[in-house]
Structure 1
């Protein structure tokens, strides 16, 4: 087997792990929000427990990329791709962490009457998942337009986040007895806004990989 073919096979394995990691993070986001919506502590606990598998994949990716860099001494675009994979795996791990944070917020809220309907949190979750799917597809298929679409979707998340913050703080001033749940929902609002930021970072890393120049989709 030639050195080039072996290198490409190693990259394919890394991309496979990125895909698996991304899929697990999407499931974690879906489950954490389902837990929040249904006030189901058992589902929330499963999200927290499942984070170990995502952390393990990130460690495997980190170790594998270090091994490839030491063995193959890649340069130019190959080096960009490996560094991009390292950055992307780190961002996906952060997305999974925010899913865990949402699960923990659910546990802290408990089972009072849910105030979720006064927020745009579900729309933010749906947009974040759409963003992550597009970012991963952009990376795997090297499609710059998909990466740019991720940045456009982040603008929608930011708008929903601002509106949710205003609604929750206004409600809090009128209903101080709901402080615990409202504060936790404000945290969830922040977690989802930050989730979108990290997914946008994935798109930016992908754009850099494809074009070899730095993009800022947050501006």
Structure 2
């Protein structure tokens, strides 16, 4: 639904439910993805080093694969770990601090928000697209949640991944649910506010 039909399924790292809680300490090598487009997703992107753990809903696996490919092209020194999971496990990974980034095809529900807030994580999200064209009943928001790191803000690596999703190249990975230019501008502004400690557009 999110990707053109000629794209193959992602070759993601898969982990059992309980193993997700150990990812932060496991030191698993990130899965590498081939770059498919030559241009940078944004000018003057900072060169980053470190590790990025993405625990996302399986429904978004294909589009996340392409975002990771774009991200790794610009930041080859970042080890990227990708673990597709059920939505409930994604919320647990956010609450336990395992996930730096969590792409979901919907907003967190009340129970999931309670779980993350009880852990004092309180991750914030930014809408990066829609599950289908606007006006359809299935046009649910697609949200990237960013976990808080030391200092109460998302780390720079997680923020850059969200910027990839909001870049023109990142938005082209959607079949019909890409943001409009105005929506992209608002989402990028919200992302900047999030890094500054303010709420983002979707929570």
TM-score by length of 1: 0.33
Hey, which of these two has a bigger chunk of strand by percent? 2
TM-score by length of 2: 0.34
Query: Which of the two has higher C-alpha Rg?
Result: 1
Hey, which of these two has a bigger chunk of helix by percent? 1
